[in-house]
Amino acid sequence: MTQQDLTDYASDSDDSSTAQYIPDTCIGFDVTADFAHFRKVGNNSAKPSYRVPPRTTVAGLLAGIMGMSRDSYYDLFSPSSSAVAVVPKQLPHTYTMGITTVNTNEAAIQYLPLEKDWWDGAEMLTPESYLEHWDKPGRQDLMETPRQRDTYEMLVDPVYRVYVSLADEDVHDDLRERLENSRYHYSPVLGLSECIADIRNVDTHTVESATTNAVDSAAYDDSAVVPSPGVTVKRERAPLYMEATDGGRKTTAFGNITYATGDDRLPVDASRAHAAGDHEVILY
pLDDT digits (tens, 9 = 90+) for 178-210: 999 999 999 999 999 899 999 999 999 999 999
- 1 part of a folded domain: no
User: What are the beta bridge partners of residue 279?
Assistant: 276
- 173 part of a folded domain: yes
Residue 109: strand, helix, or coil: coil
Same domain for 195 and 266, yes or no, is yes
* Interacting residues of 85 by C-beta distance below 8 A, sequence separation 6+: 162, 163, 164, 217, 274, 276, 279, 281, 282, 283, 284
Distance CA 193, CA 57 (A): 12
Q: What is the pTM of this model?
A: 0.80
Task: From 119, 146, 173, give the residue that closes a domain.
Answer: 146
Same domain for 121 and 36, yes or no, is no
Same domain for 249 and 185, yes or no, is yes
Distance CA 73, CA 70 (A): 8
**Domain boundaries, position 112:** 103-146
Q: What is the mean pLDDT of each run of 10 residues along the chain (284 residues)?
A: 38 50 96 95 81 96 95 93 95 86 59 52 48 44 55 94 97 98 96 94 96 95 91 93 87 94 92 96 96
Tens digits of per-residue pLDDT, 21-67?
A: 999 999 999 999 999 999 998 776 678 999 999 999 999 999 999 99
Same domain for 244 and 124, yes or no, is no
> What 8-state DSSP symbol labels residue 265?
P
